[in-house]
Every structure is written in structure tokens, then in C-alpha cells.
Amino acid sequence: MGRAGTTPAIMLVVVGLACQEVGASLAVLLFPEVGPLGMVMLRLVFSAIVLLLIARPALRGHSRADWSGVVLFGLVLAVMNGLFYLALERLALGVTVTIEVLGPLVLSIVASRRASAWLWAPLALAGVVALGGGGWDRLDPLGVLFALGAAASWAFYILSSARVGRAFPKLDGLALAMAIGAVIALPFGIADAGAALLRIELVALGAAVALLSSTIPYAFELVALRRLPAAAFAILMSLAPATAALAGFVFLGQHMTWLEVAGIALVITASIGAVRSSSRAAREAAEPVA
């Protein structure tokens, strides 16, 4: 695929990441009121409502395998968001996303068939470690486990999203999966948030977080996955620690050390190199054999 096709897709991923981390920062501020699982529920419920209204997905004309993919995608959405917010309750935003991005990085190595991918992945991993800013010894162990679970879920999200995007037109599959994820998260969110769900201002803020953290990023990513290889998309997602650290600094006052800044630079450098390597591999594969 030429540059004209990949550049808009790359921009969609970057903008989606920015929205997601700004939304995550705002969500942290609501944790004392609605709890992490309550926030997950609000995200998924409002995202599902918006997407269902926009997409108006058709329920007929799909195979059992297609519906199985949607159900799995919905489950992944609920689990990934739940683990992420449970980790975010215990860890800084930049650190949480730094650990979480290990999922897409591992996927990029597995999905790539070029030896050059192994050269960029260690550089990205070095950036992930550096982004800890020397504070890894102070990390909450349970928070780290939640973040690692979110990392594995993120890898499954990429695969599930690509599968659903191929089987359903436009945003139909995403809307249906989001609705399933919302149903799964509903009882946990109600138990966590309790009476706070009766406060209109908190529900309204939850809707705003949903728009930033779920609706816009997932829609952009689903469209991008139709134009980008899974490996290239996974490497692009390694930009998340940079956007998360920046959002945490601006909205939550989480300052960055020089080591964290160096880590961001390493991750960005590795991302650019890996994307170029993946694009070059795709061009070579498309060339006819003489």
C-alpha cells in the first residue's frame, strides 16, 4: 500500500492515542467518586450508545463465526479496560501505559517475518524500561499484575479488532462489540460506583471520558486496521507511553525525569524504524517475482 493510503491511517492512530490518554487522565480524577470499575462501565455504556446510534448495525447476514468474533471482541474490551483502570488506580498513568504497551510490542515481533523487527523491538523495550524513571522498585505489585494483564488483553484486542473489522462493514462490528462489553461491565460498575451513578454531573463527566477514551480511539483504530498491517499498527501503539506521560504531566501533575524523557525518545525512534521496516516488507512482498 502506498504512502497515500498509510499516512491517513497512521494519523488516525496517533490522534486516537492522544484522545485516549487525555480521557484516561480525566478518568483518574473521577476514581474517588465512581471507582475504576464504575468508570469502565460508564465508558463502555456511553460508547456503545453513541456507536449504536451512529452505525445502526444490521443484525442479519452474518455467520456464526462472525458473531463469535464480535462476542470475543466485546469480552476483550471489557477485560482490557477493567484491568487498565485497576492498574491506573495503583500506578502513574505513564508507568501503567508503559507496561501495557508490552503487549503490542510482543505481538509486533511475533507477527513480523523480517529479522529487522528484532533490531527495533529491543530499542523499544529499552525505552519502556527507561520510562519507569528509576521508580520501578516503588511500583505496587498488584498494579503491575493488572497492567501486565492489560498488556496481554491489548494484544488480543488488536487481533480481535482486525478480525471484526474484516467481517463487519464500517463501525458495525465495533458498535456491537462495545454493547456486549458494556453488558459485561454493567454489574461490576454498579457495585463499584453505587449511589454515585445517581449524580448527573458525574454521569455527564463519565460520558465525556467515554467519548475521549473509547468512542473516538476505537473508531479511529478500527478504520486504521483496515489499511495497516497488524505488525505496523502494533508498533505504532508503542507511542502510547509518550502520550500517556505527557497527558499525566499536563492533567495530573505527574512530572517526568530526564530518564523518562529519554525513554520516550527511544520508544518513538523504535516505532518509526519498525513502521518503516514493516512498510518495506509489505512492498517487497507485493513485488512480482522475476
pLDDT tens per residue across span 142-184: 998 999 999 999 889 888 888 888 888 778 888 999 999 999 9
- The pTM score is 0.83
Cell of 42: 460508564
Q: What whole-number percentage of the chain has pLDDT above 90? A: 34
Mean pLDDT, rounded, of the chain: 83
Kindly tell me if the per-residue pLDDT of 73 is higher than 50: yes
What CA–CA distance (Å, rounded) separates 63 from 163? 13
Task: For 81-212, list the strands marked E by DSSP.
Answer: none
Positive or negative, the Cα torsion across 162, 163, 164, 165?
positive
- Reduce the secondary structure of 225-251 to three states and give it as a string: HCCCCHHHHHHHHHHHHHHHHHHHHHH
Distance separating alpha carbons of residues 76 and 171, to the nearest angstrom: 17
Which pLDDT tens digit goes with each residue over 223-280?
887 787 766 776 677 778 788 888 988 889 887 778 877 877 787 787 777 666 665 6
What does the pLDDT average to over 12-17? 88
Name the more confident of 207 and 288: 207
DSSP code of residue 211: I
pLDDT attached to residue 14: 86
Q: Is a pLDDT exceeding 80 seen at residue 86?
A: yes
pLDDT of residue 132: 62
Mean pLDDT, residues 79-106: 87
Instruction: Give the C-alpha separation, 82 to 87, whole Å.
Output: 9
> Which of the listed ranges 3-7, 30-34, 89-93, 258-262 does the model predict with the highest average pLDDT?
30-34
The per-residue pLDDT for range 184-194, each reduced to its tens digit, is 999 999 999 99
**Residue 134: predicted pLDDT:** 57
Question: Which percentage of the chain shows pLDDT scores above 70?
Answer: 84
Q: Which pLDDT value is given to residue 280?
A: 60
pLDDT in tens, 107-137: 766 666 666 667 777 887 787 777 665 555 6
| Predicted confidence (pLDDT) per residue in 210-224, tens digit | 989 877 887 787 788
The conformation of residue 101, written as its DSSP 8-state character, comes to T
For residue 261, what pLDDT is reported? 77
